[in-house]
Amino acid sequence: MKLPASIDFVERGWLSANMVLLGGDLRGPLVVDTGYVTHAPQTLALVAQHLAREGHEAPRAVLNTHLHSDHCGGNGALQARHGSPVWMPPGEFEAAKAWDESRLSFDDTGQRCARFVPHKQLLPGQQIEHGPCRWDVHAAPGHDPASVILFEPRQGILISADALWEKGFGIVFPELAPGSALGAAFTEVEQTLDLIQALQPALVLPGHGAQFTETRTALMEARSRLAYFRSDPIRHALHAAKALVMYHLLEWRERSWEALGTWLETTPVQQRLRALAGASNESMDAQAWARGLVESLCKSGQLQADAQTVRLKQQT
């Protein structure tokens, strides 16, 4: 299945989530997710190209599937240039409106996001009429408690964000929250996979990775991954710790051992992950925790390290 000509799917790698540009409406396009803050100039350029093609001066709105830094980092730049209203799920709406960083995820994960002002809540059960399409908003908790997915039933197109990728799904962040019961959030992941299976999308536009049509295969892969994490939730904690280190290195490209250890020691989610993995402050300090994570990522071919620095492995 091919995307309609009015829809642009921009695959952007892992530092910035994919972006979907929904055109074909006289009010201007909808921009779904906007990447990481360091890629804001690229986001502006991509939106400008779409606007020029569609013959509009500004987007109708920016939509966020959820409020993780790799999905909303370009919101502020688009607001500054175009005055774009932001529509987002209700979970962190008030926190974003007040820019209460104690209730947003950016400090907790050691990531960054430029400030923006949300205007409207994306409520599950809502329908968004846009050009020839009608996008149904569905709650999709698991990766994030307030995450939503968007489904166009007439064409069978699903914007799945981090609820389903071709090879799995995003970190289950509720599992890492303070005081959470280990393994409890995996039920929400399963329920969201059940929802996607019931929708039977013909084409999936994920938050990371390429678009795909083999939804049944992707769901089987995701369920297998979920069963693996459920069998031992500590596996998920270690996976999350390594994934967040990789994300940090995607932003910085290279870090000294001291800087990486300091980041791990001062990032709340990494402190909790170290505790979940059974490493108390007495038995394993941040530097030892860093070395264990880096050694694992080096063995898998994702990082390189020497006595002074840790860096992304150069792809040949």
CA-atom Rg of the chain in angstroms: 19
Q: Does residue 303 surpass a pLDDT of 50?
A: yes
Other CB atoms within 10 Å distance of the CB of residue 59: 25
Report the predicted TM-score, pTM, of the whole model to 2 decimal places.
0.96
Q: What is the pLDDT of residue 101?
A: 87
Confidence of residue 259 (pLDDT cuts 50, 70, 90): very high
- Find out whether 219 and 164 touch, Cβ atoms under 8 Å: yes
Mean pLDDT of 261-283: 82
Confidence of residue 39 (pLDDT cuts 50, 70, 90): very high
Mean pLDDT of 82-97: 96
Q: Does residue 179 surpass a pLDDT of 90?
A: no
Confidence of residue 290 (pLDDT cuts 50, 70, 90): confident
Q: Does residue 282 surpass a pLDDT of 70?
A: no
Q: Does residue 288 surpass a pLDDT of 50?
A: yes
- Find out whether 18 and 206 touch, Cβ atoms under 8 Å: yes
Confidence of residue 87 (pLDDT cuts 50, 70, 90): very high
Q: How many CA atoms lie within 13 A of 139 on its CB side?
A: 12
Q: What is the pLDDT of residue 9?
A: 98
Q: What is the pLDDT of residue 316?
A: 41
Mean pLDDT of 74-102: 96
Give residue-wise pLDDT tens across range 105-160. Answer: 999 999 999 999 999 999 999 999 999 999 999 999 999 999 999 999 999 999 99
Tokens at residue 169, please? Answer: 């799904």
Per DSSP, the residues of 13-59 read TTTS--EEEE---TT--EEE----GGGHHHHHHHHHHHHHHHT-SS-
Q: Which of 32, 40, 39, 31 is nearest to 13 (CA)?
A: 39
Give residue-wise pLDDT tens across range 200-257. Answer: 999 999 999 999 999 999 999 999 999 999 999 999 999 999 999 999 999 999 999 9
Burial of 248 (0-12, 13-18, 19+ CB in 10 A): buried
What's the mean pLDDT when you consider all of the chain?
94
Confidence of residue 315 (pLDDT cuts 50, 70, 90): low
Tokens at residue 138, please? Answer: 């569905």
Q: What is the pLDDT of residue 283?
A: 58
